[in-house]
Amino acid sequence: MIRVLLVDDQPLIRSGFRALLGLEDDIEVVAEAADGEEGLVLVKEHLPDVALIDIQMPVMDGIEATRRIAADPALAEVHVVMLTNYGMDEYVFEALRAGAAGFLVKDIVPEDLLHAVRVAARGDALLAPSITRKLIHRYVAQPPAASSAALEELTSREREAVALAAQGMSNGQIAERMVISPMTAKTHINRAMAKLHARDRAQLVVLAYESGLAAPRNG
């Protein structure tokens, strides 16, 4: 059973998501909060698998709540997915840096929301295709902000796997591109995460772009 916490200051958004998620046999909404501070308390109390957290909220915003969740070893298994609007792209990359597993736009179709919750619960990065390219181009297409020295610890195959992951590929797709087994692809990604001290796959993607290992593609 996938345990989900909803954190959003709009009651209508929370009730809509709760109703939709509640229809699934493998998903349970364990609690909901109207601001980041309350959400943080409930995260510690319920230890959900996935926390759907709005970026902009009163009292404590979603980015700060995410940062505190990511910094607490006791909450290492909580996967945060940020909820955003199309006009708030500038906050999304900061949220990923803070430790979010990915983000979703609030007008997501029901099927994609359900898929997203299941993907996040597995620990995979979740980057909404509708705004990922725009986000990367605007906020990552610049001189590398992070030192590439850490990447020297990676093998050539690990670097290749990370670069493909940064393009949004799943382990299966990486395996197909590299002509290896999905398990080997997963091993490459996990070893890269360990060497780069990335909390999760999304943070690994951020590091890949910041270091220059991956670059935005035109289009």
pLDDT tens per residue, range 64-83: 999 999 889 899 889 999 88
| Overall average pLDDT of the 180-200 stretch | 88
- The half-sphere exposure of 100 on its side-chain side, counting CA atoms within 13 A, is 27
Distances (CA, A) of 179 to 34, 92, 156, 168, 184: 47, 33, 14, 17, 10
pTM: 0.69
Could you tell me the sign of the dihedral formed by the alpha carbons of 51, 52, 57, 61, in that order? positive
Residue with tokens 């319920």: 46
Q: Residue 209 has what pLDDT? A: 75
